[in-house]
A and B are shown apart, each in its own frame.
Chain A
């Protein structure tokens, strides 16, 4: 991977950004996420979460199972407020 390879597309986070966060002491996917916003965008880490877990695991020598701690929170799919509130919302 090149330093400027995009890891988190939603938030524009590069491989180097993730390495920097690990360098700063972040040891789990949640910690990296909160330090640099990786995984906070529309996909909620569904794409980059595993990738970040792999990078942390490579850099720290810890197994994926130990660094992959991200909690999944509702809603499962991004959902318009109007739908959640029970009102009408145009489907496009």
Chain B
């Protein structure tokens, strides 16, 4: 192989590109990862680091449980901490309908071996006495869910790739993919360099649609703005990720740095890749946090920012090969790309080599009925 030839070219240096590159490198593929800015400059560096396996479909639960295992093993694998901490996720139901939905999904989660339980308001009161349980009809709690630092995780994957002989190129924006020869892709970056591989993975998150268009593929993956904020550090009480399911709810967790980090899903979606901040979020989010934990009233906000959720009409990611031989896609991670990333990276790396999945992944297929209406939890 010459200097610019690789087994696989990955476009995008977020969790998906980095994890897939890492596992491909482990399987002795020589990978080139091309990132427009720096690793984590997209959604991954803007996420709040929450990791959970409490999902509502069999495939997602399996993938997420595998990811949790991988996060737990990262410190040993990388030789440094990624700030993994099992702070747990607590989902709160405020309507009878939600309570029933939680109970229904709980059975599926438990049947797959997840350590998750239903908690009555009194249980919540006992375990987390700082939570205001007014109006809470119950919830589910999974103590093995947790959190990690996205930048430390990316660093581990990047160092692993480089050590294994792969190449990570930042500040390298892909501007075109030429596929006139059916067995090779020519990938051009903004400064004029060209790279060649027989396999390409589109892991460009919010921009994956335009990377698809470069080979004439239409991906139903659109970005939406999501805002977030972080407070100063306070005494570490291992506050779990609390997911408040009211229409004006929110979700937040205490990081191992003692800081509270969180966001909410806006009632009206804001399409596009604009990552500006709004005053509305800066005033509304604290209100929602204090409503759940009044004692946080005096804690100061350090910073707010925004990033993208990339979503499909049915809310599931697209992780698959495509009509174009050698062109793969792993995108549209919605609000779950960080937590699903390690397992999806491993699954996709193996799929790109073996052309098979270890279990049914049709929910994430490129060709599927995107309108299907499943119960989506979170």
Contacts and interface: CB of A to CB of B under 8 A. Distances in A.
Interface of A: 24-28, 30-31, 34-35, 41-42, 44, 73-75, 78-82, 84-87, 89-90
B290 A85 contact: yes
Interface string B290-321: 10000011111111110000000000000000
Interface of B: 38, 40, 45, 151, 155, 170-171, 231-232, 277, 279, 282-283, 286-287, 289-290, 296-305
Contacts of B297: 80-82, 85, 87, 89
A49 to B, nearest CB: 13
Given A34-B45, A74-B277, A89 B298 contact: yes
A52 to B, nearest CB: 15
B354 to A, nearest CB: 32
Contacts of B232: 42, 78
B331 to A, nearest CB: 22
B286 A81 contact: yes
Interface of A is mostly: loop
A86 B302 contact: no
Contacts of A90: 298
Contacts of B305: 73
A85 B282 CA distance: 8
Given A34-B40, A34-B151, 12 more contacts: A35-B151, A35-B155, A42-B232, A73-B277, A73-B304, A74-B279, A75-B303, A78-B302, A81-B298, A84-B283, A86-B283, A87-B290
B283 A79 contact: no
Name the 6 nearest CB pairs between A and B, nearest first: A81-B286, A82-B297, A85-B287, A78-B300, A85-B286, A84-B286
- Give the residue among A27, A28, A85, A89 with the most B Cβ atoms within 10 A: A85
Contacts of B155: 24, 35
